[in-house]
Chain A
Amino acid sequence: MSVVTAEHGHDHHDDHAHGPEKGWLRWIVTTNHKDIGTLYLFFALAMFFVGGTMAMIIRAELFEPGMQFVDPKFFNSMTTMHALVMIFGAVMPAFVGLANWMVPMMIGAPDMALPRMNNMSFWLLVAGILLLASTLFMEGGAPAGGWTLYPPLVLQTGKALPFAIFSVHLLGISSILGAINIVATILNMRAPAMSLMKMPMFVWTWLITGFLLIAIMPVFAGAVTMLLTDKFFHTSFFDAAGGGDPVLYQHIFWFFGHPEVYVMILPTFGVASTIIPVFARKPLFGYSSMVYATAAIAFLAFVVWAHHMFTVGMPISGELYFMYATMLIAVPTGVKIFNWTATMWKGAMTFETPMLFSIAFVVLFTLGGFTGLMMSIAPADFQYHDTYFIVAHFHYTLVPASIFMLMGAGYYWLPKWTGHMYNEKVGQLHFWLSAISVNILFFPQHFLGLAGMPRRIPDYAIQFSDWNMISSIGGFIFGASQLLFLWVVIDTIKGGTGEKVTDEVWEDAHKHGLEWTLPSPVPYHTFSTPPTMIPSDHR
């Protein structure tokens, strides 16, 4: 490029004409939202299998009572690491990846607002996860006190403690930067015709999730920093000997932790609200109520945290307040579920893989929501607390909800991303195996919990044997089925069924989202000039 063009070509130098960088360096230095989205999604998929392998170790050990394969310390490390890897390595990055890919295309923007920071947040994530993984090989093993890192137990972690804490810092910074970027993109870069109340639901849910992340990740970083100074610098935030209180940690942690679960579920809602209307061939029912419900859930997320701590000792007025406030969440959540159902009502539905995952999500997430409602009742929670009942509950809200919608999103957008159609037969097989086995895996855990089996233990009383064995069998089938998804992804990238996909891929999809007005596969740069029209089904 000559000196002359560099002078006056400054404005459009970066954005137009360039294809991707040649060679592997492209993936290191890229600032393209599609490349970074792809990196996030592949990284999340890899971590899904890493965390999944840990889950398989857990289920193998619990297949029969008694100690079989691993020692208890390692088992506890597995439950802790499985959670951390799945939350911070798989589910959150996967949604950030989807946001990177889809948000600019859905709002008619050329790229993310802060492309270089985008690159940085991805590589900080990789650094954080590598640091976390390295604790597995340290003296004293990886953290084994549960992903909540409660003191004083977590302070007994060996050499790994400071590394685990720094990895939380890195992961936190990564998600904060990612969230800042997404919020800035949505607020500043929308096509002129797209007002806030005309944005697709996925964009709305991510706008709200972005604010949640910016608000809570620093609080978590603060809490783990307090752990660090308690352990190494003789502060006494949580140390009873110095006048501190371990219960304080739980309050700070759950102030982060409860909104964190909505960080994982709100984008899930966004994906469901995107897919269901397309396959029901109707606009989303109750768009504005969906927006307000999402905002209401996000607000309530900040004022219900202590329902995770009903049994640790709280004034009765506290128990009552947190009980009623928690129950209130069922209202906006119910609004959403009824809206999805109403969207399908009398729709001309077809049942391609993304829709199957969405329908399963609506049904199974509702189930997980109901068990949540049961546990919101403070006196009843004394029975459920720290048993397999809570394990069943949050796995129902994460696996057949968040994970299913991520899979659904994969099937839904893969043809757009790659320009190839995925193999529908294998997709449907993947769906049915997953949907059946996920219930074999988690449903019996309700019974185990009600019968009193505690969570995070490597061994159990023999009366729990049968359901544990069934649950493990479900787990193995579920784990193996996910390899089908990996196959589908690779196969689709390589050419899939060979069927040529149209620009809108799904019938009339262009009515539902701007991304379907672009060619398939999507060119490296899109919407260099903002679109003037937005889809008719946006309100």
Chain B
Amino acid sequence: MNDEVSVKNKKLGRKLAIFAIAMFGFGYALVPLYDVLCEWKWIERDRPDAIKAIPETAYSIDVNRDINVEFITSLNENTPMVFSAEMPQLQVHPGEYHTVNFYAENKTNKTMVARAIPSFSPALTSTYFEKVECFCFSEQTFTPHEKKIMPMRFVVNPGLPTDYKTITLSYTFFDNTETVIKK
């Protein structure tokens, strides 16, 4: 192979390597891009910011509709806690405010920081499920063996499409103690 071709090859090789490195960066760029795409209005939002408080507003109560709200509580992997809802389900009218208490207990001798992450099914209902107050808005600190009663106040927006009759709301507690200490 003569020198001229060899130089050309090295040049092209370098260009392609830069392309590969750029694609590695693109992989990371997909992370913020994903959030941006999920916020686009013309895509129905299936991943709304369910951990933001919405101020209590008076809706007209639609007494003709019953929505069954189900509560599921679970713990991630080996989170050493007890976690349950006051009731497994609740019948509500759209526009009507309710408060449900959740019970959590630290089973260890150490201070624990944990975070409850919500998830909705069907996902689209989450946009219409407005929370005024929730323990899931921030990290919860538990002293050793502390027991907590944590309220969650919500309303189902009367704009909820009539197709939906049941909303399942699941909370999972994640033990974040290590992460918080590291930070």
- Chain B associates with chain A: yes
Which residues on A are within 8 Å of B, measured CB to CB? 11, 14-15, 110-111, 113-114, 117, 152, 156, 176, 179-181, 183-185, 187-189, 214-223, 226, 234, 236-237, 239-242, 245, 248, 251-252, 255, 313-318
Which 3 pairs from chain A and chain B are nearest by CB? A222-B27, A241-B174, A218-B24
With A214-B23, A315-B44, A315-B46 in contact, is A183–B16 under 8 Å at CB? yes
Q: Does B20 lie within 8 Å of A176, measured CB to CB?
A: yes
With A189-B5, A315-B44 in contact, is A240–B174 under 8 Å at CB? yes
Question: Could you list 18 A-B pairs, sorted by A, with CB under 8 Å?
Answer: A11-B2, A111-B1, A114-B13, A180-B20, A181-B13, A184-B13, A184-B16, A189-B5, A219-B27, A222-B27, A234-B179, A240-B76, A241-B175, A251-B30, A255-B27, A313-B123, A315-B44, A317-B44
B41-69: CB near A (< 8 Å → 1, else 0) gives 01111110000000000000000000000
Which residues on B are within 8 Å of A, measured CB to CB? 1-3, 5, 8-10, 12-13, 16-17, 19-28, 30-31, 34, 42-47, 76-77, 115, 117, 123, 172, 174-176, 178-179, 182-183
Chain A neighbourhood of B13, CB < 8 A: 113-114, 117, 180-181, 184
Q: Does B5 lie within 8 Å of A188, measured CB to CB?
A: yes
With A216-B23, A222-B28 in contact, is A113–B12 under 8 Å at CB? yes
Chain B neighbourhood of A255, CB < 8 A: 27, 30
With A184-B13, A241-B176 in contact, is A234–B182 under 8 Å at CB? yes
Chain A neighbourhood of B174, CB < 8 A: 239-241
Q: With A and B bound together, what is the CA distance between A14 and B3 in angstroms?
A: 12
Chain B neighbourhood of A176, CB < 8 A: 17, 20
Interface of B is mostly: helix
With A216-B23, A248-B31 in contact, is A316–B44 under 8 Å at CB? yes
Q: Does A242 lie within 8 Å of B30, measured CB to CB?
A: no
Name B34's contact: one of A117, A183, A240, A251 (CB within 8 Å).
A251
With A240-B117, A241-B76 in contact, is A15–B44 under 8 Å at CB? no
Chain B neighbourhood of A189, CB < 8 A: 1, 5, 9
Q: Does B16 lie within 8 Å of A214, measured CB to CB?
A: yes
Chain A neighbourhood of B176, CB < 8 A: 241-242
With A189-B5, A240-B117, A255-B30 in contact, is A234–B178 under 8 Å at CB? yes
Residue of chain A at shortest CB distance from B176: A241
Q: Does A317 lie within 8 Å of B24, measured CB to CB?
A: no
